[in-house]
Amino acid sequence: MAMKEFKAESKKLMDMMINSIYTNKEIFLRELISNASDAIDKLYYTSLTDTSVGLNKDDFRILLTLDKENRLLTLSDNGIGMSREDLEENLGTIAHSGSLNFKKENQDENIDIIGQFGVGFYSSFMVADEVTVISRAYGSSEAWKWSSHGVDGYTIEPADKDDVGTDIYLHIKPNTETDNYDQFVEEYSLVAIVKKYSDYVRYPINMFRQKSRMKAKPEDAGEDYTPEYESYTELETLNSMVPIWKKAKSEVTEEEYAEFYKSKFYDYTDPARVIVSRTEGSANYNALLFVPARQPYDYYTKEYEKGLALYASGVLIMEKCADLLPDHFGFMKGIVDSQDLSLNISREMLQQDHQLKRIRTALEKKIKNELLAMLRTDREKYEGFWNAFGRQLKFGAYSEYGMHAELLRDLLLFYSAKQQKLVTLEEYVEAMPAEQKCIYFAAGENTDRLAKLPAAQLVLDKGYDLLLLTEDVDEFCLQVMNSYPRKDAEGKDGTVEFKNVNSGDLGLESDEEKKAAEEATAENQSLFDAMKLALGDAVAAIKVSTRLKDHPVCLSAEGPLSIEMEKVLASQPGAEGVKSRKVLELNAAHPVFEALKAAQSAGDEEKLASYSRILLAQAQLIEGLPVDDPVAYAQAVCSLMK
């Protein structure tokens, strides 16, 4: 019988697994039991519509058998089984190719990646030097035997098996100097491992246990009778079978939740928060949800699939039901179990299901409140969560024309220039002086540079705080929200608008200041006309500024599209041509302004044009915009030095 090779990638992974210094080898049992339980789920599900399965719910079980002398541990299930093709396909390759790359990248960290990418079965090679799988698939009369010693490959041949299901035989390795494998042929430690990791598995995990009992006292026993003992075996169910999500929160320890989360959802860090939720109003369900503490490596890619596992009365219907989670909470993991859903419900029907919609609405509210609670009571943890998923929440607030902005706005954090830390909008508004009219923000790439913008300084000098936005979605998010609630001086409900410091009217100037600037603009109209002629379409208008103190020049934007938004759109296909309406603002009190006027009155058009272009380029540089013609700009500045 020919030996078949594993696919290259599987081989590497298996090699790592066998030689790993991984200390937590005991999880191989969790992995095999979880596979067995999945296989039973599949057959049980089939049995609901197909009477030929011939099994009732109570007939399903997983059986552990220990032959200590021969160091043989067997795990049997009466689940759906595997055909020859299944065995080759499932046990000869690795389902998710991301796992190997992931392991390579994280080689130094001794993290629990095993079992997190569908490499579960391979973990048996951590403890066994020979693994044999005998399986008979449901609907087939033949059985197959798959066998392997590890990396070299595997063999596959016909076998005999009376019932549908899978038996996995593990020949446990001998002890080494560093590793104790004997524990895996020790009854009590196997029992402990099952309890620790697989207690909630819904099918009984049975094992014949060695017990001892006192023999009955013979009737003719005399005074000096000493009791005799005999050993016997008894089939015991090791797990409590109550799914963890059906238990009250007080019955489950934090470690148990964390352990469950990590093994079920392929994470190696504890969750940031556990949410247990039951029947709310019209929807009947148990939900156990987790806020992950870290971002999955594929989170912001197309590969990431959101969704919660959906069970109907304890039976898995769907591993990832996307309809249960709005996109803005797409990072949530967890399980929903409802007795209101029909077991035979199809995926298409699910989308229409009213019960499911009610559950979704209730969960959305619950998740929001839990996140808010985390924000208020455990800020550090929340900020960790925010680092991982804040971008998602901001996109959520922005998407669908701000439909979810009200729900999400209090979960958002932005960087405060004054406090040098992340603040909520509520915190910003509460700290606002009574006379402050807007929530100010500046948008760009780098907080230090933003805080130095002339307009930013103006706001800060007033004693007002300023939000420094550095992510592309930030300004779009605020624009869509438009305003935030604030009570006025009399305690009446009102709102306060968001204001980009680079927008035309900052609401900082007094009416006199504004009027003075307008008059100065009118007085210098012929100068500005001449400059505009030189600059062409690069600017929409030129005017005297109210906001400049030390700088000679800056750019502001009129209308809804800011300069920063233009930059974001420029990087998006299809939106490259979208431009903001830019206004060149000049400081009339600056010596440079005198130089401009002098050039004009001397009738030196060329000089005026050159000065105008230099000033525009400077304003563009300050804004972080590309200069139209950098070489011409450099030459123009040099010629000033001559």
Q: Which stretch binds ligand ADP (CB under 6 A): 31-39, 267-275, 383-391, 599-607?
A: 31-39
- Closest Cα partner for 285 from 256, 261, 302, 309? 309
Nearer to ligand ADP, 94 or 408 (CB): 94
Distance CA 45, CA 55 (A): 11
Is residue 28 part of the contact set for ligand ADP (CB under 6 A)?
no
Q: Report, in Å, the least distance between residue 139 CB and ligand ADP.
A: 13
Min dist CB 89 to ligand ADP, Å, is 8
Length of the chain: 642
35 binds ligand ADP (CB under 6 A): yes
| 79 vs 271, beta carbon nearer ligand ADP | 79
- In the region spanning residues 36 to 65, those forming contacts with ligand ADP, defined by CB under 6 A, are 36, 39
| Shortest Å, Cβ 164 to ligand ADP | 10
Q: Which is nearer to ligand ADP, 77 or 259 (CB)?
A: 77
DSSP, collapsed to helix, strand or coil, labels residue 9 as: helix
Residues contacting 83, CB < 8 A, separation 6+: 135, 137, 140, 144
The amino acid occupying position 129 is D
User: Would you say 62 or 517 has its CB closer to ligand ADP?
Assistant: 62
Instruction: Tell me how far, at minimum, the Cβ of 497 lies from ligand ADP, in Å.
Output: 51
166 binds ligand ADP (CB under 6 A): yes
- Shortest Å distance, C-beta 93 to ligand ADP: 9
Q: Which two tokens stand for residue 512?
A: 């006199």
Cβ proximity to ligand ADP, 101 vs 175, nearer residue: 101
Residue with smaller CB distance to ligand ADP, 118 or 204: 118
| Residue reference for tokens 């055909």 | 83
Instruction: Please tell me what DSSP assigns to residue 444.
Output: S
Q: Quick one: which of 332, 480, 273, 466 has its CA closest to 394? A: 480
Look at residue 532 and give its three-state secondary structure: helix
Residue placing its CB nearer to ligand ADP in the complex, 114 or 588: 114
Min dist CB 186 to ligand ADP, Å, is: 23
Q: Could you say whether residue 80 binds ligand ADP (CB under 6 A)?
A: yes
Chain positions 105 to 134 lying near ligand ADP, rule: CB under 6 A, are 118-121
Question: Which alpha helices (H) appear in 232-296, and where do they start and end?
Answer: 254-265
What type of residue is 106? N
- Cα 178 to Cα 190: distance, rounded to the nearest angstrom: 20
The Cα–Cα gap between 74 and 312 comes to 31
Q: Which of 8, 95, 216, 373 binds ligand ADP (CB under 6 A)?
A: 95
Verify binding: residue 618, ligand ADP, rule CB under 6 A: no
Q: How far apart are the first and last CA of the chain?
A: 89
What are residue 414's DSSP bridge partners? 423
- Closest to ligand ADP by CB, 30 vs 567, is 30
* Phi, psi (deg, nearest 5) at residue 482: 70, -50
Taking CB under 6 A as the criterion, the residue among 78, 83, 90, 148 binding ligand ADP is 90
Site string for ligand ADP, 332-361 (x = CB under 6 A): ------------------------------
CB of 79 to ligand ADP, least distance (A): 5
Compute how many residues bind ligand ADP; rule: CB under 6 A.
16
H/E run at residue 190 = helix 187-198
Nearer to ligand ADP, 12 or 246 (CB): 12
User: Which residue in 487, 626, 492 sits closest to 555, CA to CA?
Assistant: 626
Helices 525-535 and 591-601: crossing angle, nearest 10°? Answer: 90
Q: Residue 260 Cβ, how far from ligand ADP at the closest point, in Å?
A: 16
Show the tokens assigned to 166: 């899978």
The residue among 81 and 271 lying less far from ligand ADP, judged by its C-beta, is 81
**CA–CA gap between residue 532 and residue 609 (Å, rounded):** 9
Segment 555 to 614, residues that bind ligand ADP, using CB under 6 A? none
- Residues that bind ligand ADP in the complex, under the rule CB under 6 A: 31, 35-36, 39, 77, 79-82, 90, 95, 118-121, 166
